[in-house]
Amino acid sequence: MTERILIQGGRIIDPAAGRDAVGDLLIEEGVIREIGPRLSVKGSCQKIDAAGKLVVPGLIDLHSHLREPGFEYKETVATATAAAAAGGFTTICAMPNTNPINDNQSVTEFILERAKAEGKVHVLPVGAITKGSKGEELAEIGELVAAGCVALSDDGRPVMNSELMRRAMEYAKIFDVPVIDHCEDLNLSAGGVMFEGEVSTALGLKGIPAASETVMVARDIALAELTGAKVHLAHISCGGSVHLIREAKRRGIAVTAETCPHYFTLTDDRVRGFDANAKMKPPLATRRDLEEIRAGLADGTIDAIATDHAPHAAQEKECEIDHAPFGIIGLETAFSLSLMLVEEGLLTLPALIQKMTENPARIIGKKIGQLGIGDRADVTLIDPAAEWVVDAGHFKSKSKNSPFIGWKMKGRIAGIVLSGVWKSADAEAGR
Amino acid sequence: MGLKRKDILAIAEMEKEEIELILQTAESFKEVSTREIKKVPTLRGKTVVNLFFEPSTRTRTSFELAAKRLSADVINISTSSSSVVKGETLLDTARNIEAMQSDIIILRHASSGAPYILARALRSAVINAGDGSHEHPSQGLLDLYTIKEKKGGIQGLKVVIVGDVLHSRVARSDIHGLKKLGAEVHLAGPPTMIPLGIEQWGVKVHYRLEEAIAGADVIILLRLQLERQGKGYLPTLREYAQLYGLNSKRVALANNGVLVMHPGPINRGVEVTPEVADGLSSVILEQVTNGVAVRMALLYLLSGEKS
Ligand SMILES: [Zn+2]
Ligand SMILES: [Zn+2]
C-alpha cells in the first residue's frame, strides 16, 4: 500500500463543497489531506497525471443486486464489486433479495465479510423491511441496522399492505434509516412483461400500465406525509411519478427518488424483436415518459441516478420473453450513459456528479461522496472525452444481460482510489 | 419466384407485394386440391416439422395436409408448453430438430415472440403458426385470400373484427394484412378486450356492435376463450352473447352480401348464433379449405427461396 498519492492537474469536481477547479489532490494514509491549485510534496509519493481528466468523489450506487448468497451463478460479491470498480463506483448498496433474504443479522454479516475478504469496492447492505420480504411482518430492523444495514427495502417487490408500510416507516424513524420502496401495484402488473401501450399491443405481450408505478408512488408520498419518515422511491420510470414527486417536494414532504440510466436512454420500442435484455421492472416506458424523467433530473425532482444492476445468466435471458427474468446489469455503463445528459445540455457536469455522489450519500445518511479534507479517500478518475464500445466480453460482471452491448459511449473510467489505494482501470483490465 | 425472407413470422413485417404474391400463389395451389390425385412433387425430399407447443388440431392438420400435398416428409412434434418452463428447452428442442436436417419448422407457441428465437438461431425456415397474442400470419393470409376470392378485391371494403382483440393473434395478423391491402378496419368489443393504443394502427374502435356493423362488407368474429369470464374481462358469457353475439338481426345491418368469418372453433351461441354460423353469409368452411392452399403457397415460396 502506497502511503501517499498525488493526483495532479485534474478537474476536481466536488459538489458537496461547491468545488469545480483544476488542481491537485493529495491523499495520505487513506484520507484526503490537501487540495490546491498546485501542491508540492516532499518525500516519496505516487504521482497520477490527471491532466484532461475529471477527479470526482467515488461514485455511489444506491441500488445493486449482488446475488450472493444464493444466486452465485449470476453474480457474486467479488464480481459485482469488480464491475462496480470498472464503472467508477467506490460504494454500492446491496439489495436484500438474496437467498436467504437479508432480513437478519447473520446475512448482513455474511455480506460484509464477503465484501471485506474479496470486495473491490465498499459494500453497504440494505436490509429487508419485512421478514423474507413477504410483506407480512416487520423484520428485526434494529438488529439489521446494528449489523450495518444503511437502509431498508423489500426491493424486487413492493410492500403491498399499506398499513404495514406505514408501520415500517414509523419504526425506521427510531434508527433514522430510509425506507426504499419498489413502487409497483402487483395486481395491476400481474402477468405483465413490458410497458402497456402501443408497443405491447403490437407485440401481443401482456403490458404493465404506468399506473402500476404511480399508484404506489402516490401511496408512499401519502405515507411519508403521515409518518414524517425518510422515504426513498427506487427506479422511477414514468412521467406520472415525476409529477407526483415534484408536487410532494413542493409541499415539503421528505421524499427522495432515483432513476436508472435505462429510463432516460431507452423506450419500450427497444422490446421490438422480443429481446429479453430489454425486459426489466419497472418496464421501459414511452418517449414522453423518458422526456419527463429527464426533466425531473434537470429540475432536481429526481435526486439520484442508481443502476438497479440486476445480473441474470445468459440461458435465463435467451428464451421466450414471457419466461425471462426482469432486469439488466448496469454498473459498467451507468456513468457513460449518464454523461449523455451533460452532452445534451440537460445537466451540468457538477450536477450529474452530485446525483451519483453527494445525493446518494445524503439519502443513506453517510458522510461519503465528498472530497473534504480528512474524508476517506474514495476518488474516481474519469477521462470524459475517451470513447469506448460496450463489449460483452469485457464486462467484469458475471452476467452479460445488457441492452447496450455494441453501443459507442463517451467517458471512460480511468480508475478509482479506494480508501487511499489507487486502482488503475487499465491495470485491472490487464491492458 | 420466391420470397425475400427466410421466415414467415408476422404480417406486420410484410410488404404489400409479398402478401399479393402469396395470395396469387395460393390460387394456383387451390386447384391442386380439386384434382383426383391431390399431390404435386414440388417439395419432394424436403422435411417439414410441425412443432406444436400448444394444441391446435385445426392448424396442425392444415399445415400437415399442405406439406403432404407438396410431397414433403412431415414430422409432427407436440409438446405441452407447461412442461417447458425454461426457454433453453425451446432452443434445445429446435436445435435437435434442425440436426435432423429439417428444412422448414412450423412453430406454434403460447409465448409471443417464441418463433423469433428460433428464426434467429436456426438455418431452417420458420413459419409462425401462432405465437401468444402476437400474430398468426397463415390464418391472416387465409382470411385475406377468402375475402379476396369472394369479394374480388380488398381495397375499400369495410371489415369489422369482433371480440377479444386484446388476446387475439388472428386479429393482429388480420388488421395488418387488411390495412396493407387497403381495407377500412373497424373493431368492436368490450373495452376490457381492446388493447391500448390500437387506434394508432388506423382502425376505428366501437364498443357497440350495431354501430360497427352498419354498412359492413365483412364481419370477422374472434374466438372467445371461455375462461375469460370471471377474470375481470367479462361478467358472464350470457352478457357477452347479448352485447357482442352475432345474430340474423344484426347481420341485417350490414351490406348485402356480407361475409361472416370465424377462425374456429366456434362457441355456438356465444360469438354467433347457429343460424348465422350455418347461414348463407357464412364462409367459415371455405376458410378451412383455403387454409390448405395458402399454407401450400407459404411452404412452396419459402423452400423455393432456398433452392
Ligand atoms: Zn425494484
Ligand atoms: Zn432492484
If you measure from the C-alpha of residue A95 to the centroid of ligand 2, how many angstroms do you get, rounded to a whole number? 7
Instruction: Supply the pLDDT for residue B97.
Output: 85
* Burial status of residue A99 (CB atoms within 10 A of its CB: 0-12, 13-18, 19 or more): exposed
Look up residue B272 and give its DSSP letter: B
Please provide the distance, in angstroms rounded to a whole number, between the alpha carbons at the two ends of chain B: 11
Residues 6+ apart with CB under 8 A from B219: B159, B160, B162, B213, B246, B251, B254, B258, B259, B260, B261
Signed CA dihedral, B294, B298, B299, B301: sign only: positive
Cβ burial, residue B70 (10 Å; 0-12/13-18/19+):
buried
Q: Which residues of A are catalytic?
A: 308
The mean per-residue pLDDT over the stretch A374-379 comes to 98
Weakest-pLDDT range from A161-165, A227-231, B99-103: B99-103
Q: Given an 8 Å threshold on Cβ–Cβ distance, is B88 in contact with A315?
A: yes
Closest-CA residue in chain B for A271?
Answer: B113
- A386 touching B (Cβ < 8 Å): no
Burial of A287 (0-12, 13-18, 19+ CB in 10 A): exposed
Q: Which amino acid is at B258?
A: V
- Of the candidates B191, B185, B130, the residue with the CA atom closest to the CA atom of residue B166: B191
B269 backbone φψ class: left, alpha, beta (φ>0; ψ -120 to 50): left
**What pLDDT score was predicted for residue B37?**
83
Q: Is A32 helix (H, G, I), strand (E, B) or coil?
A: strand
Q: Which of B90, B197, B198 sits opposite A320 (nearest CB)?
A: B90
Q: Which residues of A are known binding-site members for Zn(2+)?
A: 63, 65, 155, 182, 235, 308
What is residue A36's DSSP assignment? E
A207 touches chain B (CB under 8 A): yes
How much is the pLDDT for B80? 66
pLDDT of residue B35: 84
d(CA A327, CA A333): 14
The domain B7-135+291-303 having CATH identifier 3.40.50.720: the answer here is no
Q: What's at A357, amino acid-wise?
A: T
Going from the Cα of A252 to the center of ligand 2, the distance in angstroms, rounded, reads 27
Hey, of B53, B196, B222, which one would you mutate to test binding to chain A, going by the most A CBs within 10 A of its CB?
A: B196
Give the three cell numbers for residue A297.
Answer: 433530473
CA gyration radius for chain B? 19
Tens-of-pLDDT digits for all 307 residues of chain B? 568 899 999 999 999 999 999 999 999 999 888 888 888 899 999 999 999 998 889 999 999 999 999 999 999 988 765 455 544 578 888 888 888 899 999 999 999 999 999 999 999 999 999 999 999 999 999 999 999 999 999 999 999 999 999 999 999 999 999 999 999 999 999 999 999 999 999 999 999 999 999 999 999 999 999 888 878 899 999 999 999 999 999 999 999 999 999 999 999 999 999 999 999 999 999 999 999 999 999 999 998 744 3
Contacts of A197 in chain B (CB under 8 A): 196-197
Q: Kindly determine whether residue A205 and residue B134, on different chains, have CB atoms separated by under 8 Å.
A: yes
Residues 153-192, chain B, touching A (beta carbon < 8 A): 169, 172
Mean pLDDT, to the nearest integer, of A292-302? 98
Size of interface A-B (CB pairs under 8 A): 73
pLDDT of residue B305: 43
CATH 3.40.50.1370 domain extents, chain B: 7-135+291-303, 137-287
Q: What is the model's pLDDT at position B303?
A: 87
Name the DSSP class of B95: H
Residue where the block lists cell 399442405: B66
The beta strand positions in B122-166, using DSSP E, are 125-131, 158-162
Looking at all shown ligands, the one closest to residue A154's CA atom is 1
pTM of the model: 0.94
Handedness of CA B163, B166, B169, B174 (dihedral sign): positive
Query: Among A274-283, A421-430, B85-94, which stretch is predicted with the lowest mean pLDDT?
Result: B85-94
**DSSP secondary-structure letter at B135?**
B
Residues A164-189: what's their mean pLDDT? 98
> What SS3 class is residue A175?
coil
Query: Is the alpha carbon torsion for A215, A217, A218, A219 positive or negative?
Result: positive
Query: What value of ipTM does the predicted structure carry?
Result: 0.92
Structural domains present in chain A: 5-55+375-429 (2.30.40.10), 58-364 (3.20.20.140)
Which CATH number among 3.40.50.1370, 3.40.718.10, 1.10.357.10, 1.10.10.10 corresponds to the domain B137-287?
Answer: 3.40.50.1370
Asked if B228 is an interface residue toward chain A (Cβ–Cβ < 8 A), one would say: no
